[in-house]
Amino acid sequence: MTTTTEPAEPATSAAPTYHNVIAGERAPAVSGATFSSRNPANHEEIVGVFPRSGPADVTRAVAAAVEAFPRWRRVPAPARADLILRAGSIMQERKEDLARLMTREMGKVLEESRGDVQEGIDMAKYIAGEGRRFFGETMPSELRDKFAMVIRQPFGPVAIITPWNFPIAIPTWKIFPALLAGNTVVFKPAEDTPACAAAFVEIMHEAGLPSGVLNLVTGFGEEAGEPLVEDERIRMISFTGSGEVGREVAARGGRQLKKISLELGGKNPIIVMDDADLGLALEGALWGAFGTSGQRCTASSRLIVQRGVLDEFTAELVKRASALRVGNGLEAEVQMGPVVNQTQLERIHRYTGIGIEEGATLLLGGRVLDDAPYDRGYFYAPTIFGHVTADMRIAQEEIFGPTTVIMPVATFEEAVEVANGVKYGLSSAIYTRDINRAFAAIETLEAGITYVNAPTIGAEIHLPFGGIKATGNGHREAGTSAIREFTELKSVYIDYSGRLQRAQIDTE
Ligand code: NAD
């Protein structure tokens, strides 16, 4: 549970009150409890007041999704796609408003918030195209006068549980393909970004989504997320968030044999070889480490640098990072916003202490920015550690803030070994001009994504997204995997011989 959201706080006149959306109706929490979402750049500003939902609200939302399912699955896929495309057009029209709301609610700078919304728009276009594909397969039967095919079918009501760092993009990665495939949805967004979620759900209904097909339940993980995971009527769960909660979701849902798709954390390396274009590598490292204040699952949180360029790379990165303009992301010149809440701020600062204790050299930052104009927000200085070794916790654990570490290596082989020496395997990158090394890195880096001469962030929606090892449980979102994630396969045999034909026996 986070501390931006203080329970049962009365609405101020300035802050709008929001509702859950269940069966197309706006509804407060059954208990009447609320929580507020605050602007992390100014925590005195309440973005909105939301239902603090519990099991009773979740039960109602799942019931609505169950009821809506038989009708929705019968809507032809191209018609479901039209609706998603319409939602994408509305998002396009409201891109600026949505982006501003996002920056106010979770802090990333406006340009990045626009990118987040754009990702949702791209996803709408891509998934709408799937409505006229939604391919199955045909294959020959081993018997005469017999036809064989595989078709895709929806699960039924599915649960979508999302984090706060991509408050529009991540829900669209999940909700668009889930709906296109004919599932109905109960959506539990992060407690730090319920306003973005509410704006998205409203757009879906404006686009013509029938009641009950997409239900929104706001609230905290333990109170609203857990009962959703436990509800027996939910057959599939798509979760993005921390490894800790992901494991819990997998254990609870797994006991009921649900399909569970997990996208979890990362500790993503950029390898910088001696032969790299150093200017390019520095630009990439700066963007990869400090974009979204480092709060991306794909953030470049480890910079593995060959010794020949180590001193120059380090000095120049420190210089460039110290010049980053930190502030309220709505202000045009600001390059890095606040972190999302007090809990995150404390966690990031705790890791600074750990790094110092472990013997790493603090090269930049390492402090909470709490004097004016930062005193009403959750601001942390861009932070760089040098002389970091692979066994240190700051080189192993996800910090999820504007902290990156520089790890010196002698050779390419050592760089790959260090890169692979963590439990996570989401994104990875190498800067080199040597094509052989680039391909060797593509082959050997243990990650779901590898970039060459680009930082670890920058996924495009038409490629599968996800990671290996502790980053997930073998699933991929978006791209060609998107529909696969949200469908069951049915194998179909049609015997038009008019007689009993026994497979494996009557083969003559
Ligand atoms: P989190 O795990 O705290 O919360 C994620 C969601 O789970 C929230 O909606 C939360 O309310 C809910 N939740 C919490 N406890 C729950 C429970 N017991 N049962 C059901 N739901 C519960 O994560 P966060 O702080 O919102 O996000 C940051 C994390 O997400 C980081 O670890 C980051 O790496 C990860 N992330 C991963 C990806 C990816 O695609 N791999 C993308 C973005 C973020």
Please report the DSSP string for 480-506 in residue order: GGHHHHTEEEEEEEEE-SSS---TTTS
Q: Is-catalytic flag, 137?
A: no
Domain 269-452 is classified in which CATH homologous superfamily?
A: Aldehyde Dehydrogenase; Chain A, domain 2 (3.40.309.10)
**Mutation choice for ligand 1 from 240, 244, 465, 471, CB with most ligand atoms inside 8 A:** 240
Q: How far is the CA of 398 from the centre of ligand 1 (A)?
A: 13
Q: How far is the CA of 221 from the centre of ligand 1 (A)?
A: 9
Q: In the chain, which residues have pLDDT < 50?
A: 1-11
Query: What CA–CA distance (Å, rounded) separates 58 from 34?
Result: 15
SS3 334: coil
**Residue of minimum CA distance from atom 39 in ligand 1:** 263
Check residue 507 and give its pLDDT: 76
CA-based end-to-end distance of the chain: 65
- Kindly list the protein residues whose Cβ atom lies closer than 6 A to any atom of ligand 1: 161-166, 188-191, 220-222, 225-226, 229, 240-242, 245, 248-249, 263-266, 297, 398, 400, 426, 471
**Residue of minimum CA distance from atom 14 in ligand 1:** 221
Check residue 508 and give its pLDDT: 72
- For 37-264+472-490, CATH number out of 3.40.605.10, 3.30.70.20, 3.50.50.60, 3.40.50.720 equals 3.40.605.10
**Mutation choice for ligand 1 from 123, 161, 473, CB with most ligand atoms inside 8 A:** 161
Q: Where in the chain are all domains bearing CATH 3.40.309.10?
A: 269-452
Atom of ligand 1 nearest to the CA of 192: 26
The residues near 424 (Cβ < 8 Å, ≥ 6 apart) are: 264, 265, 266, 267, 268, 398, 467, 469, 470, 471
Atom of ligand 1 nearest to the CA of 244: 2
Check residue 1 and give its pLDDT: 35
Q: How far is the CA of 240 from the centre of ligand 1 (A)?
A: 5
Q: How far is the CA of 161 from the centre of ligand 1 (A)?
A: 8
Check residue 111 and give its pLDDT: 97
Pick the catalytic residue: 263, 398, 477, 485? Answer: 263
Q: Where in the chain are all domains bearing CATH 3.40.605.10?
A: 37-264+472-490
**Residue of minimum CA distance from atom 42 in ligand 1:** 297
Type and span of the H or E element at 72 = helix 55-74
Average pLDDT, the chain: 96
Nearest to 337 by CA among 284, 373, 291: 291
Q: How far is the CA of 189 from the centre of ligand 1 (A)?
A: 9
Q: How far is the CA of 220 from the centre of ligand 1 (A)?
A: 11
Q: Is-catalytic flag, 297?
A: yes
Nearest to 21 by CA among 266, 213, 263: 213
Atom of ligand 1 nearest to the CA of 163: 26
Check residue 122 and give its pLDDT: 98
Query: What CA–CA distance (Å, rounded) separates 474 from 64?
Result: 30
State how far the alpha carbon of 501 is from the alpha carbons of 39, 138, 149, 150, 506, in Å: 68, 19, 17, 20, 6
Which residue(s) pair with 302 in the sheet?
Answer: 269, 405
Nearest to 407 by CA among 375, 384, 374: 384
**Mutation choice for ligand 1 from 231, 245, 396, CB with most ligand atoms inside 8 A:** 245
Atom of ligand 1 nearest to the CA of 426: 41
Q: What DSSP character marks residue 221?
A: I
The residues near 248 (Cβ < 8 Å, ≥ 6 apart) are: none
Residue with tokens 């609505």: 64
Pairing mode, if any, of strands 468-469 and 424-425? antiparallel
Check residue 8 and give its pLDDT: 39
Pick the catalytic residue: 112, 130, 226, 297? Answer: 297
Check residue 9 and give its pLDDT: 46
Q: Which amino acid is at 269?
A: P
Q: How far is the CA of 303 from the centre of ligand 1 (A)?
A: 25
State how far the alpha carbon of 189 is from the alpha carbons of 83, 123, 235, in Å: 22, 18, 19
Query: What CA–CA distance (Å, rounded) separates 407 from 233?
Result: 48
